[in-house]
Structure 1
Amino acid sequence: MALQDTKTMPSVVIIGGGIGGIINAIYLKRKLGFYNVTIFEQSDDLGGTWNDNTYPGAASDVRALFYSLSTDMHSDWAHSNPGHSELKAYWKGLVFKYGFEERVCLRTRVVSAEWDNERQIYTIEVVDLATGQSRTVHANAIISAIGSLNVPHYPEDLRGIRERFQGPQFHSARWDHSVDLSGKRVAVVGSGCSAIQMIPHLSEDPTTSVVNFCRTPSWILPPMQTSIPSFQRAVYRFVPFAMRFHRWATFMQHEIIYALLIRGSPKSFTRWWCMKVLQNYLMDTVPSEYHERLTPRYPFGCKRFVIDSGYLDALNRPNNDLNCDGIAKITEKGILTKKGDHLEFDVIIQATGFVVDEYPIKIVGSEGVAIQDYFQDQNGPTAYKGTVVPGFPNFFITFGPNLTTGHGSVVFTHEAQATYITQMLEPVVKGFASSFEVSHSATDSWNLRVQDKISGSVWTQCQSWYRAGYSGKNTAVWPWSMTELWWQLSAPVWSHYQAVGAERWERKRRWSAGMKAAEVAILMGVVGWGCAHFEDVLQAATGHVRIVSNSFLIEDDSFGFPSTAFLLRHSETDTTFVLDLGIHKEWKTGLPPVVVAELQKLSRVEVPVDVTACLEKGGLSPSDVDYVCLTHVHFDHSGNPAAFPNSIFLLGESGKALLDDGYPTNPTAHYMQDLLPTSRTRFFSLQEGEWNELGPFPRALDFYGDGSLYIVDTPGHISGHISILARTSPDGGWIMLPGDAVHDWRILRGDAEIGHHSKYGCLHADKLVAEDTIRKLRELMKEPRVRIALAHDQVWYDAAKEAGRDFWPGKFQSL
């Protein structure tokens, strides 16, 4: 979204440019229209896991359709389980698609953050890894998206490897591509996913001798990776819902695995049967000498299972060996086993996993306690629903404690969390609250429930990275289904949180509860009437406008009009969006003297009821309106912005020049320089953001990022004029609100021509451009599911008023 002036907006810092960070940035933009985020990434590029893990064979063990964003599924995956480069390109591409590339700070490490109770912000210290220079930034909220699988783990038996071993050595997540493994003796330490993926690729070269040191074998499932033929990809592209159905089917497969093989007793029949099947697969694939070494001595599901990518077949190669004797120590030339054998190697690769029970950044919360100290007191990382920590307001952890499903997709978890985090941040980024902090009691209660579910389960039957090393507490596993995870994170339980400065948010929530039904409501009910005359004046019960001959359209001696405003509510987020503000009830005090003089000479203006009164009649306080968008800055559309103390104002970029040159700096100006609050006004720039073609209009901006409301460039009437195209129903109903792009149905239908610009009325600053915009509106009008509501439609207004409908708080209907 091409908006400007973010210095005074609420801000969110995202730590980490991996999948979790990218998803949360996208959700904030799509669901809240919020874009003032800064992503700090300590690596040299985006992608997280898929930027760090570049070892041969690195790939997702979850199918691509279930490892991609649900809103941006990709139909052209060449393989069911893509490799690291393809995955990195996909996730990095989303950053550019949503316009966050300029909000990413690469090679920048977050060192610490401390909450300021008085200012209700975090003070964050970051260091530029390229220069070593430190700086301080501030944010209203932090989303920690560093993940739990990013800090390499170096086991005790490999201690001293850097000091003793004379050859190259590195962790699988820090692969050294400068090391040529051809003709080398290579030790791979580890038996998890990374080792099992890389070893088949390393041993493809017959000159490379590979020994895999395995301490605890994994349960290995038969290969499931397949190439995706072009026909199937074409089906995904062109058959509606085919790709989404396949994604749903994959989700259900994972849920069935949980139901049959993971939950329940460690000695269940289905688990026993599964273990027998996998054991038979093992024995049919590897040499008999490895049967016992590779058979796990713990029940299936205790650790994350691994999908075979050629590992078992590779053990049949003469240059591949398996050693399960244990490592006693690292020597200058290799590895000494616990059996006393000394094996020499040229290269040692550590595929030994990650540190998951420590948080690497010092975060100090509202109680003056560092998050590391809180975790220590809890015998390991602990959070409420894996997302928030008591004592740390507006601080969120993605893929946090006890959110590893063990059978599902991390992307699913990230999206569920992003839904939750977005709802928590909505009142903060919109200025309705300062902070939310989960209570200790809610957190303790939640974690008692989690640990109770884990006790007696299959996850207690072995030692794994799921459990904190210093306490044995399981701090990683989500002990329920993915469906339960989605449900628990679908909406916050606000009573579990302590809020600061949230009175307006509480009022807004109460109001929203009673107003769910209306998506689009019209604020007419005499929002404001302008009465202008040249020779005589026509009066109506609530005011009327008579414009001079030929001002609006040719061959019309007079023209009466109401001035209208519209309220649009987002059906999912309840975001309130007001388009135009009608006429200021005290209009003489809010206009430059030259305009007041002209209006008094030519008209009589009456405003019995203004926008604020209409809103309050419908139960909505102006202070609770999220956005006010002005199609342009004429007095009969700009109303009284001061009555909306918390709204973000939206205006076309060219409108900024009109206001900057406004009264009193320019005594002859027609616009007040201080009409809109500088700190809360955003200007749409046609040179920035994702302006795309939409129907007949060449430039339209998806405001919420979900296709529900578009800002449409409709030039001609005045510099910076914009309109709104909003979806009103899930089956494709739309409403076009063109502001002053066109003033009369006779013009739109082609029955009359637009009038000429005169000193008595500014119809269109550029008639030719305005006619082209009207031509586009005529094309749009041909669409059967699109309704158009003119801002000054006297005929519509009279009919609606006579029928007793369509006025706020009623639902909009067109004739």
Structure 2
Amino acid sequence: MGEAPKHWLDERCIDEYRPLRVIVIGAGISGILASIRLPQKIANLSLQVYEKNADVGGTWFENRYPGCACDIPAHTYQATFEPNHEWSQFYASSQEIHRYWKKVVAKYDCGKYIKLRHEVNGATWDDRTGKWRVSIRNLVDHTVVEDSCDVLISGTGALNYWKWPDIPGLHDFGGKLLHSADWDEEFDWTGKRLAVIGNGSSGIQIVPAMLEKSVHIDHYVRGRTWLAPTFAREKVDQMGKGLDNFSFTQEDIARFKDDPAFYERFRKDIELELQSVHSVTIKGSPEQLGAVELFTENMKRRLAGKPELLETLLPSFPPVCRRLTPGPGYLEALASPKVDVITTGIKQVVEDGIVTADGQHHPVDAIICATGFDTTFSPRFPILGKNGLSLSEKWRGVPSTYLSLATDDFPNYFISLGPNSALGTGNLLLLIEKVIDYIVLCLQKMQRDNIKSMSPRSSAVEGFVQYCDLYFQTTVFSLDCRSWYKGGTSDGRVSALWPGSSLHAMQALAHPRWEDFLYDYENENACGWIGNGWTVKEKTKQVNVDYLNYDQIDFPPLPLVGEAGENRALG
């Protein structure tokens, strides 16, 4: 008997795309964009999005603390295909951003793919079937259901697992204890003495938002930080806003709606400024050196009420080493006589307040912990890849990925906003869109080439990790400053940021390098993609010759003949 053939005719047409079942974890921005783009571009798709919360929106549903807002201009923080002319603030509030994404979900009918109050609590790859087995807990009736899919997409984001700070006696406090990521919207702080712990992005927004109604705020500052000048400052001034007024009037909004050319210019001008500052992240660059003086003068002006605070807050590290925020009103709030900035470490929390390391007792009615999230990228539930490999164990030392969106030994598993995906400068929303587009291209290839599973080669993952480490040595992100970019450390590996500019990421994600992946094929037939010699329309007797329609023909430009007889191509 001869050797069995390695390839055979698959009983499928060459353009007969096999069914794909896709599960997306999370209905934040990544999940919403996936629920728009995947049905639009993937044929024969079964899609399910599981969301643990009671509503869509991810971080913009969860974070409801006073002052919570986007720290880049709202007109750059929206889907490219769904511009919003009605932003009421230059830096939109979390509630307004949440309303925007709710409208997007309704407009594109994404809700039919989304199950709310369903929390994924485990996923295991089955190499035999080429599918993911996924365990989901219904948070209403607490039942556990099992689902399976060909492709699993994580859209949980990096900043969604909040934690209390490790302070002795914190939970023995007799007053109101709150965390910025678990806010009690019934809390009324009118006339109360408050302690706000932390001067990251949340703390910078909370202090000015709570100042007016409170009687006093003790603001506990562990590290120094830079406050950025206003983005698109000239554009804001041109609209008559001034530096301290970031609201849009009804007349502004009407002009955005009625004058498309004006709106396009406004939006593009802000986007251009956002995309033109990458050089400030490079060590020793003229822009980086100039930023120190620019930022210092900006902070000095805004702290005019308490000039002595400048030395307390001014960092020794350069701007952008930590996440930047313009923090409208923050420095001005610190200059208020109602605010005390406390840099002494906290020794313990007692029933009626906080005791600092110098032994001083600071009585307060409420403690607000603006102390951030777990930024280790460790999965919140077990994800097991080939041969039972745990993603948590794999990423224990270095959260290694290929282009931030996949990793070796985890077939058909894609990540939006995974390790090395965030941006120090530029447009993050644009990058999320490009990641979803990249995943779409991978799913299309799986269907077109009859691929059962795909995952990046280990050499491609190792190469990207090494590239990241080499690149960040040229940037200020690697300098000595405590940052969530480095997992909350001051000298750790930069594991959160994309290794380059926002525009660089767009180029890197535009055209997948298929040679960087490993593939397993349906029925182990690598030539199965060729099918059985037929197309679907031939089989169904719907043949047409639309390829001869003039709008389908690629007409080459005709050469022009110059006076000297030279050929010139049309522009």
Partner amino acid, structure 1, of 2:155: A
Deviations 1:462-491 (A, max 9, x none): 221111358822111223111110011112
Whole-angstrom distance in 1 between the partners of 2:466 and 2:410: 20
- Comparing both chains, which one has the higher relative contact order based on Cα–Cα distances under 8 Å and sequence gaps of 6 or more? 2
Kept after mapping to 2: 8 A contact 1:398/1:417: yes
* Equivalent of residue 314 in structure 2, options 266, 280, 295: 295
Alignment of 1:161 onto 2:170: yes
Instruction: Answer yes or no: is the 8 Å Cα contact 1:40–1:110 preserved in 2.
Output: yes
CA 1:429–1:297 in structure 2 vs 1: closer, same or farther (change >3 Å)? same
Q: How does 1:199-278 map to 2 (within 5 A)?
A: 199-205=207-213, 207-224=214-231, 226-240=246-260, 242-259=262-279, 261-263=280-282, 265=283, 267-278=284-295
Q: Does the 8 Å CA contact 2:20/2:44 hold for their aligned counterparts?
A: no
Distance 1:370 1:195, change over 3 A: same
1:329 counterpart = 2:348: yes
Structure 1 residue 273 displacement after superposition: 2.3
Matches within 5 A, 1:99-498: 99-156=109-166, 158=167, 160-162=169-171, 164-205=172-213, 207-224=214-231, 226-240=246-260, 242-259=262-279, 261-263=280-282, 265=283, 267-286=284-303, 287-357=306-376, 358-376=378-396, 379-428=397-446, 432-461=450-479, 462-468=481-487, 472-498=492-518
Distance 1:370 1:202 in 2: 43
Partners of 1:508 and 1:148 lie apart in 2 by 39
CA displacement at 1:22 relative to structure 2: 0.7
Task: Write the letter of the residue equivalent to 2:129.
Answer: R
Structure 2 letter corresponding to 1:65: H
Q: Secondary structure at the match of 1:195?
A: helix
Cα distance change of structure 1 residues 430 and 125 upon mapping to structure 2, 3 Å threshold? farther
What corresponds to 1:583 in structure 2?
Answer: none
Query: Does the C-alpha gap of structure 1 residues 275 and 503 become closer, same or farther in structure 2, counting only changes over 3 Å?
Result: farther
Give the distance between the partners of 1:154 and 1:52, measured in 2 at CA: 16
Deviations 1:578-621 (A, max 9, x none): xxxxxxxxxxxxxxxxxxxxxxxxxxxxxxxxxxxxxx9xxx95
Corresponding residue pairs, total: 517
SS at match of 2:486: coil
Q: CA offset at residue 30 of structure 1?
A: 2.7
The aligned counterpart of 2:8 is none
**Cα distance, 1:256 vs. partner?**
1.9
Which amino acid counterpart does residue 405 of structure 2 have in structure 1?
A: T
In 2 relative to 1, CA 500–318 (structure 1 residues): closer, same or farther, beyond 3 Å?
same
Q: Is the 8 A contact 2:400 2:462 kept in 1?
A: no
Matches within 5 A, 1:694-733: none
Q: Which amino acid is 1:131 matched to?
A: D
**Aligned residue for 1:93?**
103
User: 1:311 is aligned with what amino acid?
Assistant: Y
Per-residue deviation at 1:457? Answer: 2.2
Contact in 1 for aligned 2:35/2:113 (Cα 8 Å): no
Using a 3 Å threshold, how does the CA distance of structure 1 residues 184 and 227 change in structure 2: closer, same or farther?
closer
Residues 446-455 or 98-107, more deviating: 98-107
Q: Could you tell me whether the CA contact under 8 Å between 1:387 and 1:417 is conserved in 2?
A: yes
**CA–CA distance in 1 between the matches of 2:63 and 2:98?**
10
Query: What is the aligned partner in structure 1 of residue 563 from structure 2?
Result: none
One-letter identity of the residue aligned with 2:224? P
2: distance between equivalents of 1:67 and 1:276?
Answer: 28
Q: What are the ranges of 5 or more consecutive residues in structure 2 without an aligned counterpart?
A: 1-17, 232-244, 553-571
Indicate the SS of the match to 1:435: strand
Are 1:143 and 1:397, in contact at CA under 8 Å, matched by a contact in 2? yes
Matched, 1:16 2:26: yes
Q: Secondary structure at the match of 1:306?
A: coil
**Contact 1:223/1:310, CA 8 A, preserved across alignment:** no
Q: For residue 178 of structure 2, what is the amino acid of its counterpart?
A: F
- Once residues 99 and 255 of structure 2 are traced to their aligned partners in structure 1, the CA distance between those partners, rounded to angstroms, is 23
Q: 1:275 to 1:809 in 2, by over 3 A?
A: closer
Q: Which amino acid aligns with 1:278?
A: F
Cα gap change, 1:505/1:92 in structure 2, threshold over 3 Å: closer, same or farther? farther
Cα separation, 2, equivalents of 1:114 and 1:47: 26
- The one-letter amino acid of 1:422's match is V
Q: Aligned equivalents of 1:82 and 1:504: distance in 2?
A: 52
Relative distance call for 1:505 and 1:96 in structure 2 (3 A) is farther
- Work out the CA distance in 2 between the residues paired with 1:194 and 1:81: 14
Over residues 764-809 of structure 1, what are the superposed CA-to-partner deviations in whole Å (9 max), with x where a residue is unaligned? xxxxxxxxxxxxxxxxxxxxxxxxxxx9xxxxxxxxxxxxxx9576
Partner secondary structure for residue 395 of structure 2: helix
Q: TM-score, normalised by structure 1?
A: 0.60
CA deviation after TM superposition for structure 1 residue 240, in Å: 4.5
Q: Cα distance, 1:249 vs. partner?
A: 2.9
CA distance in 2 between counterparts of 1:216 and 1:106 reads 38
- Structure 1: which 5+ residue stretches go unaligned? 1-7, 512-615, 629-638, 644-738, 740-790, 792-805
RMSD of aligned residue pairs (Cα, Å): 2.8
Question: What secondary structure does 1:131 align onto?
Answer: coil
Q: CA deviation at 1:427?
A: 3.5
Contact 1:25 1:35 in 2 (8 A): no
Q: Report the equivalent of 1:575.
A: none
Change in Cα spacing, 1:166 to 1:29, as seen in structure 2 (3 Å) is same
**Alpha-carbon separation, structure 2, partners of 1:199 and 1:291:** 17
TM-score by length of 2: 0.84
- Distance (whole Å) between structure 2 residues aligned to residue 248 and residue 502 of structure 1: 46
Q: Deviations over 1:523-556 (max 9, x none)?
A: xxxxxxxxxxxxxxxxxxxxxxxxxxxxxxxxxx
Shift, 1:17, TM fit: 1.1
Structure 2 counterpart SS, 1:215? coil
Whether the 8 Å CA contact 1:427–1:505 is kept in 2: the answer is no
Letter in structure 2 aligned against 1:161 = L
Whole-Å separation in 1 of the counterparts to 2:256 and 2:528: 41
Give the direction of change, closer, same or farther, for the CA distance of 1:813–1:485 in structure 2 (3 Å limit): closer
Q: CA deviation at 1:229?
A: 4.1
Number of the residue aligned with 1:528: none
Q: Is the CA contact (8 Å cut-off) linking 1:333 and 1:346 kept in structure 2?
A: yes
**1:272, distance to aligned residue in structure 2 (A):** 2.7
Deviations 1:30-88 (A, max 9, x none): 33356632111111111111101111111111212211000111112222221111110
Q: Give the Å deviation of 1:108.
A: 1.4
User: Residue 59 of structure 1 contacts residue 84 of structure 1 at CA under 8 Å; is this kept in 2?
Assistant: yes
1:201 Cα deviation after fit: 1.5
Percent of aligned pairs with the same amino acid = 27
Point out the structure with max Rg over C-alpha. Answer: 1
Q: CA deviation at 1:255?
A: 2.5
Preserved CA contact (<8 Å) 2:42 2:443:
no
The offset of 1:370, in angstroms, is: 0.8
Aligned equivalents of 2:386, 2:281: Cα separation in 1: 39
Does structure 2 conserve the Cα–Cα contact (< 8 Å) formed by 1:433 and 1:505? no
Q: CA deviation at 1:334?
A: 2.0
Shift of 1:428: 3.8
Letter of the 1:19 counterpart: I
